[in-house]
Structure formats: structure tokens, C-alpha cells
Chain A
């Protein structure tokens, strides 16, 4: 039973932009990430959750309460804004106390809860500091303490890590994850960074053009992308066209790719349609081979060393660029090679995914 429910949420800004019939649920204490490129509607969704944007249709439920029409100040959701939106004219303590005062908590009780909230984000004793004197990371933690102090029902985070430099980002992400889990609050995070979504959330909703593409755990999204968009958006991938032959058995079909013949296993329950198809290849799902029947002829155009493995780019005779992860000495630039799936027959878990043809 989901605690926070988005039911057919719709907000139109035009024919193409907005959010269209979004349905999602988050368990009590669950962490959901809304992941998508800019314009996917993830920020609009978060703003509808916060009450800053009125949906044209659909409902938002918390437990059994319909909060769709509730103004932000009555909703009792905490929000951390992308640029933190700290009140520059108030000090750290006053910022954190703001939400408590709004709910009629004052005096020593407020002071105690401000102290607790600041201790929670590791800023004990920062009460009287002006917010302008804080570093970016500290400002973010104050924003978090401010949002959490009134003990909201749901925590909303808008691109929580986008304002931090890469070194700080890694550490902050770890701390943020630990903190949210410790507090145990139902949380929705908006981000365009796959890494942030995967690290922070239990479940990730991938959005594109205002619609839900797929909801799942990070592993499900990577290993079992439901749509070409998810396949392309999550993780590294190359795409190549092929033709599915009509002779299939046990969900395993034969696909002809630039003259080579691959055996591909389908996602469970998906029908195999003979004819043209598009194949998503993960770099670790393909390798160099000497097998002339299975290997697609290609020329290595680039080699990039990345520690654990080396990434090769190989251009096929058909002009498609494939990315291959292989040991460091597998090939040199300019070498003629053949590329084939590592596993035979290759299935979704093996980094080879079959999709209907289309604009990949």
C-alpha cells in the first residue's frame, strides 16, 4: 500500500510540454527519484507535489487524504530547493525555526528542535551564523534541516546535488542518503543525474516528455529497460539495426546484423516480431571475436583506457559506431576486428536488448 500516491497527474503547458497522466506510488519511508532529461516534466511533478503548481487533472494522496487542492502551507511537505532558497535576512537558527513558528511552535521547544535539526545535519552550534557566510555544502544542509525541522509528512528534494562541485558531491550524496534513511521520511527526489538517482533512491521513475517511461529499482532499469528511451538514458549503450528471422523457438530468435547471425533471447512475455529491429548493446555485453559467422566486421577507431576495463569504439561496415568494453590489450586503433555478443544466446541480463525498429 503506497503512502504517497500520484494518480493520473496532468499539467499541460502546451500540446507537447507538461506532465500527462502520471501515476506513481511511494511506500511509507520509501525514496523515489524522478529521473529524466530537462523538459521531461520531473520538476513540474515535484512542484505539483509541493503545491506550487495546480494539476489540470489527477490527484495527489497522502495515506487516505487527498491533498491535491491544499495550498503549500497547509500541505505539511518539506522541500529543499535547487538553490536552497535560504532566507538571506535571517540567520541559520532563524531559518530553521521558520517552519516551526509557522506551525505555532515557539520558545524553548522551538529552540530544542532547531538544535536537533542542526545536529542532524552536522551543523550543531551554527544557529547564529549568517547564511551568506556558509559554504555551498553547508547551505544545503541548512536547507535540509529547515525542511525537516517541522517533521513534514513527505520530503521533496529538487536537484539536491546540482550546485555542488564533483568532490563535494560524492560525499554529500553519501551523507544525504544516510540521513534520509535515518530519519525514515518518505522522500521524492528530482534529478537529471543517473548516478544521484541510483545512489539515493530505492526506486527510480524515468520520465520523458511528461510521461512515465519506467518505474523500477536501479538494477531493473539497467538490466531490463522497458523502452528504447530508458535503455539509452540509463547507462552506456550503442545501437545497431538488424532483421529478426521468422524461425524462433523458446523465446530465442535469430537476428541478422550486418551479415552476422546472432541468437537473441527476449524479455519474458514480449513477442518476437520477424522483420527489422533495433538492438541496444551495453559495452560489457559485446566483445571481439574471431568467429566469422557471429562477428560483425568493424574497424577500431578509438581506444580509451578507464582503469578496470578499456573502452573501444569500432565502426562497422554499415557505418555504426559500437562501444566495447574489453581487456586493455584486446585490439589497437586501426585494427580490423569482429564484434559479437559475449553470451550466446544473449538475453536482457547479458547487455543485449531487442526493440522494435524506430528512432533510437
Chain B
């Protein structure tokens, strides 16, 4: 451990503590401070006395738990179907199945609105078929939120379960069979217990995502408030002290979930080197047909929202009123979006801010990787924990924390004014990206065989040459994965942006929202399509590099 390394680690720890931990601390402090700086529990008392606050808290909790249940019910059986059985279209649909999770939440939400909303495609269709006077339903409230959550979050269960199944020691399943256990008993006594860590991971991720979910409650919630939307509306009303209390409570709820999930003992893995079996063809023709039809129906269901978005982006403003299908099509929406400077601005904003945030987050992640996985610096553990923190607290909480910490000019307590400047959003994106980038890069570092670097050193390569010629090229898949996730998340961010944006830095998501509010459905859809295409493009680039690196 050289002094330089130690100094670097300390500096990194300090910087991260300043932008990650400090704002959260300020929120905690301000929740117990009055307008004149005195200590007070008044806001907490008001929070506890207010039935509306309890309702929002309860709503956050139960919708999150229900989201976990729905996502599991959809995702786990799908994972078994796609991992274990062969049927026509398995590969194609298997790839599509992950789609809802990789697209920006806001895009999914507005696509849902256009598809299932009261003036949406399906509603119109039902109305026309049944010759109803009124739209058959309103997409609003808790069930609308749960529908969107189920749609986007089952992917976690699906991916985690598939990964778990793929690395399951298949011999253990055969052992159970040879010991006389039938399929059901094998599933109950062996497969599910062995999958428990994966299922728990998926449940935790779903719970935290649902708890932090903002786009769906914001668009569909109506009078139904959850904590995230409650915080934003409270701030909008200027009740900052109350917003701080709500923020603290929401963080505590998240931490409680985390603590519950982490409480159980992890299952020991024995040294089985099981080989995943090839998917079995489904023997019964009837079942195979059923699986195929089910699979393709699922594929259509998954793609329908995005297809609707594309369709709507070609509809001229105000032409689609009562017809089932739009009567006219145009590219005017895209032309408008790409030629009018005020329309073009958000696209540029989102691109530069996402790029900057990705580059910075990746640089920090690589630095942390170098410091935390090689000869461990004393503060490395702290640094590693700090970059994971933004994952533990909902985006709304972080946005509120940054908004509070950096809206005061007080350099002597390390507070400067960033709110209202162009720097606050990129900073927020960086922080939000740290866990994504960090996890991917750290996993890459840990998978790296240290003896490869030692070999480079013994062949005379210095530290920089080794990093440049050996370490980074080997990390390329991990770097590509981390950068892709970070970029797409920042590009489509809504939850943080709505709290911290300024007119000059308004990103795509807010432009979508304001277009929607002004009735420019076509333009909003066109923005959504653009965001979708950009995300897809980045994912395609990211995965292509992965292939090259092998």
C-alpha cells in the first residue's frame, strides 16, 4: 500500500461521502429543524397525526408487496417455461421478455396510457365492439399502478429465476429423482430451496423498485397517493419540513425492506458442478401448442404498448377522436421535434447529461474497483458501501436530498448552491448511476483472475501498461454492461429530473410530460419512440462490444 494509493482512497471516500451520504444526513437533520433552525419534532407530529400521510405510507407498502407477488406469479413460471422447455419461437420471445425492464419507466407508462387508458387503443376497441356510450374503464388508481408494475417488474423474477435455474446443480435434481422423489416433490424440496437466493434477490429488487416507483403513480395515481408522489406534491405546496419527514419515512421503509430480506441466512452452496440440461422438447403436442400460443401471445402483449407508441407518433394532432384506428398518418411530429429549436433542446440536454453522467460514474466505478478488489485500501470497504447507497434509497429521496443540500451557500459546512445551475442534474444522474456502474464493474473485477495481471507485471509491464493492455480489455464486457445500464437510466430519468430540472436543462422525460399536458399526444409519443430507439441502440452497441471482447 503506497501513500499515494492511500491518499487517493481517502480522497475518493471523502468526495463520495460529500455527494452521497451528506445530503441524506441533511435531510434527516432538516426533518427535525424548524424554520429558524431550532430543534423540533413538530413535522413528525404532524405527519403522525395526519390520516392522509398514513394512507400514503400504507399505499406505498401494500402496492410494493403486491407488486412483488404479481411479478413473482408472472415471472417465475415463465422462467421455468423458457429455461426448461423447447418450443417454436422460444429464443425470440425469450429475448423479448426482458424488454419492459430495459425501457425507461416513463416510456412504458405513457405507452400503457395510450394502450389501456380510457381513450387508449384497447378501450376504444372494446367500446366500438360493445357499442358503449362511455369508455369501458378508467386506467386510474392502485390497480393501474399494479398493472404497470406487474408488466415491468416481473422481468426481475424472470431473469433471476432463469439465472438461478441455469446454474442449478442439475445432478442434485437427478439425485432427488433417483431417491424416489417425483417432479412435484423434487420441485418443492430441492429446486425451490436451491433457487431461494435468486428468488429473494428478485423479491428485494422488485420491492425496492416498486417502492421507489414514481412514473406510474404520478401518471395513473389520480387521488391515490404513494410516498414518492406525496413527497413531490408536498414540496410543490411549499411544505418543505413535511417533505423532509416524508422523505425520511420513505427511506426508512426501504431500509426496513432491505433489512428483512437480508435477515435470513443465505443457503450454503456445495461444490456441485452441475451442468444445466438442454431445454427439453415438450412431448405432448397439445401442451406444445399451448406453450407456443402462450409464448406468442405473451410476445404480442409485451410489444403492444411500444407498438401503440409508434403508431401514435405518426398521428397528426387532433385527428384521432372517436375512430378505432387513426384516420390519418404523418411524420409532422418527428419533423417538428427535430427542427424546432425548443423541441430539439431537451434531446440535446438528455444526451449530453447522460453521457457526462455515464463517463463520470464509470470512472469512479473503475477507481473503486481498482482500490477495493486489488490490495485492499483501508477505506475501500467504506467506498464500496458508499457507491451502493443510492440503490438503497428511492430516487425521489435522493433528489430531495440533493435539492436540500445544494441550495444553500455555506462553504464552511461544505454546502454550495448547485440547484438551479446546469450541474445539479448531471450530478444527480452520476449519483444515481453509481450503483449500476459499480456493481457491473466490481463484478468484472472480481471475476478477473489476479494471476493474469501478475503475469503482465512479471513480463515487465508497469501499472499503467497493465491497466491499459490487460485489465481494461478484460473488463470490457463488464464496462460495456455498466455503461449501457447507466446511460439508458440517465437518458430516460424522470423521477430525479422532475425535482431538480431547470428550464435550460429540461430533459426528454419532462418534455414528454409537458407535451402530454398540452395535448400534443403525437409529439409526446414521438419523443417516447425516440427515447426507446436511443435506449435500444445503446443496448445493441453495448452487447455487440461484449461479443467482440470474447
Interface residues, chain A, with chain B CB atoms under 8 Å away: 50-52, 71-79, 81-89, 98-99, 102-103, 130-132, 139, 143, 146-147, 150, 156
Q: Are A98 and B181 also in contact (CB < 8 A) when A85-B274, A89-B194 are?
A: yes
Report the Cα distance A187→B193, complex, angstroms. Answer: 31
Contact status A85-B174, CB under 8 Å: yes
Q: Are A73 and B273 also in contact (CB < 8 A) when A88-B267, A89-B193, A89-B268 are?
A: no
- B175's nearest neighbour on chain A, judged by CB, is A85
Of A99, A130, A150, A156, most B-chain CB atoms within 10 Å: A99
Other-chain contact of A50, B178, B182, B189, B196 (Cβ < 8 Å)? B178
Size of B's binding interface in residues, CB under 8 A: 27
Of A76, A77, A86, A150, most B-chain CB atoms within 10 Å: A86
B269 to chain A, nearest CB (A): 5
Contact status A87-B178, CB under 8 Å: no
Contact status B268-A132, CB under 8 Å: yes
Report the Cα distance A52→B186, complex, angstroms. Answer: 14
Contact status B270-A75, CB under 8 Å: no
Report the Cα distance A79→B177, complex, angstroms. Answer: 10
Contact status B270-A132, CB under 8 Å: yes
Contact status A89-B267, CB under 8 Å: yes
Other-chain contact of B270, A72, A79, A131, A146 (Cβ < 8 Å)? A131
Contact status B270-A139, CB under 8 Å: yes
Residues of chain A contacted by B182 (CB below 8 angstroms): 71, 73, 102
Contact status B174-A79, CB under 8 Å: yes
Contact status B174-A52, CB under 8 Å: yes
Contact status A88-B269, CB under 8 Å: yes
B456: Cβ under 8 A from any A Cβ: no
- A82's nearest neighbour on chain B, judged by CB, is B171
Q: Are A99 and B270 also in contact (CB < 8 A) when A50-B174, A72-B174, A88-B194 are?
A: no
16 other A-B residue contacts (CB within 8 Å) besides A84-B171, A99-B180, A143-B175:
A50-B174, A72-B177, A76-B180, A83-B273, A83-B274, A85-B171, A88-B268, A89-B196, A99-B181, A102-B176, A102-B182, A103-B180, A131-B268, A146-B179, A147-B179, A150-B180
Contact status A79-B175, CB under 8 Å: yes
Residues of B247-285 contacting chain A, CB below 8 A: 267-274
Report the Cα distance A99→B189, complex, angstroms. Answer: 12
Residues of chain A contacted by B176 (CB below 8 angstroms): 87, 98, 102
B172: Cβ under 8 A from any A Cβ: yes
B185: Cβ under 8 A from any A Cβ: yes
- A78's nearest neighbour on chain B, judged by CB, is B178
Contact status A75-B178, CB under 8 Å: yes
The 3 A-B residue pairs with the shortest CB-CB distance in the complex, in nearest-first order: A99-B179, A102-B180, A85-B171
Residues of chain A contacted by B185 (CB below 8 angstroms): 102
Other-chain contact of B189, A71, A79, A98, A146 (Cβ < 8 Å)? A98
Proximity bits, B404-425, A CB within 8 Å = 1, else 0: 0000000000000000000000
A285 to chain B, nearest CB (A): 41
A/B pair count, beta carbons within 8 Å? 101
A131 to chain B, nearest CB (A): 6
Interface residues, chain B, with chain A CB atoms under 8 Å away: 169, 171-172, 174-182, 185-186, 189-190, 193-194, 196, 267-274
A117 to chain B, nearest CB (A): 12
Residues of chain B contacted by A75 (CB below 8 angstroms): 178
B489 to chain A, nearest CB (A): 35
20 CB contacts below 8 A, A to B, read A52-B177, A71-B177, A71-B182, A73-B181, A73-B182, A74-B180, A79-B178, A81-B171, A87-B172, A88-B270, A88-B272, A89-B268, A98-B181, A99-B181, A102-B179, A102-B182, A132-B270, A147-B178, A150-B180, A156-B178
Residues of chain A contacted by B172 (CB below 8 angstroms): 85-88
Report the Cα distance A89→B268, complex, angstroms. Answer: 7
Of B180, B193, B196, B271, most A-chain CB atoms within 10 Å: B180
- B173's nearest neighbour on chain A, judged by CB, is A85
Contact status B272-A83, CB under 8 Å: yes
B42 to chain A, nearest CB (A): 50
Residues of chain A contacted by B181 (CB below 8 angstroms): 73, 98-99, 102
Report the Cα distance A71→B176, complex, angstroms. Answer: 12
Residues of chain A contacted by B178 (CB below 8 angstroms): 50-51, 72-73, 75, 77-79, 147, 156
Residues of chain B contacted by A72 (CB below 8 angstroms): 174, 177-178
Contact status B271-A83, CB under 8 Å: yes
Other-chain contact of A132, B177, B190, B193, B269 (Cβ < 8 Å)? B269
Other-chain contact of A81, B175, B186, B269 (Cβ < 8 Å)? B175
Residues of chain B contacted by A143 (CB below 8 angstroms): 175
Q: Are A130 and B171 also in contact (CB < 8 A) when A73-B180, A99-B179 are?
A: no
Residues of chain A contacted by B269 (CB below 8 angstroms): 88, 132
Residues of chain B contacted by A74 (CB below 8 angstroms): 180
Residues of chain B contacted by A76 (CB below 8 angstroms): 180
- A105's nearest neighbour on chain B, judged by CB, is B180
Residues of chain A contacted by B268 (CB below 8 angstroms): 88-89, 130-132
Report the Cα distance A77→B174, complex, angstroms. Answer: 12
Contact status A85-B169, CB under 8 Å: yes
Report the Cα distance A130→B266, complex, angstroms. Answer: 13
Contact status B272-A84, CB under 8 Å: yes
A229 to chain B, nearest CB (A): 28
A5 to chain B, nearest CB (A): 20
Residues of chain A contacted by B177 (CB below 8 angstroms): 51-52, 71-73
- B176's nearest neighbour on chain A, judged by CB, is A98
